[in-house]
Amino acid sequence: MPITKERKEELVAHLAEDLNKAQALILTDYRGLPTAELATLRNQLRGMQAGMRIVKNTLMELALKRAGMPVPEDLLAGPTAVAFCYNDIAGPAKALNEFLKEKEIKVKGAIMGGSILRGAEAAALATLPSRSQVFGRLLGTIHAPGTQVAGVVAAGIRQVLYLLKARAEQLEKQGAAT
């Protein structure tokens, strides 16, 4: 049964809304994947605050135009599944790449920050550190100077304490000798 024009407009509006929320989109082929495996992948991505949709290319093109994003017509050829990365880009990209590698299916490309990424550029998204890793590194970088200052101050105090302890032992030995 064909989709009505009103339903298509509603789908495009929902897609455009999702596109505006997403930090990145990863476009992939899904031919040869059973529905059960696609459902498993969707559930895995949902746990990472991401989503995946099977999208008709013409509707995706209209939604991209409506959202003011570039339209990669070459990537919208053939069956297309779109992963929406809402918060973290690296986690869902890694999960998607690992899943597709097992099935010998490749990522077509990605859209991130208004740029179209193809081939190796899109695959590089999976090598990015996750959001929590970036925050951890940032926190470590911010914390390091304070730790170093505390170490220098503590070393000075420690030296004074060792000097006082040595002097006290020296005086004890002199007092015991006399």
- The predicted-structure confidence for 37-79, as pLDDT tens digits, reads as follows 888 888 988 888 888 998 888 999 999 898 888 888 888 888 8
Alpha helices in the chain (DSSP H): 5-21, 35-46, 57-66, 90-103, 120-123, 131-177
C-alpha separations of 50 from 19, 86, 169 in Å: 12, 6, 67
| 111 and 78 together in one domain | yes
Average pLDDT, the chain: 84
Number of domain units in the chain: 2
| 104 and 166 together in one domain | no
* Stretch 126-143: mean pLDDT: 75
| 103 and 176 together in one domain | no
Q: Is the pLDDT of residue 103 over 70?
A: yes
pLDDT for 129 equals 67
* Stretch 98-109: mean pLDDT: 83
pLDDT for 156 equals 84
| 159 and 114 together in one domain | no
Give the CATH number of the domain where residue 104 resides.
Answer: 3.30.70.1730
pLDDT for 122 equals 73
Q: How many CA atoms lie within 13 A of 160 on its CB side?
A: 6
Residues 79/54, Cβ–Cβ less than 8 Å:
yes
Domain boundary among the residues 95, 112, 128 is at 128
State whether residue 54 is helix, strand or coil.
Answer: strand
Structural domain harbouring 21: 5-128
| 114 and 48 together in one domain | yes
- Residue in 39, 42, 29, 41 with CA at minimum distance from that of residue 79: 29
| 92 and 141 together in one domain | no
| 113 and 166 together in one domain | no
Kindly report the pTM of this predicted structure.
0.68
| Pairing label, strands 80-85, 107-112 | unpaired
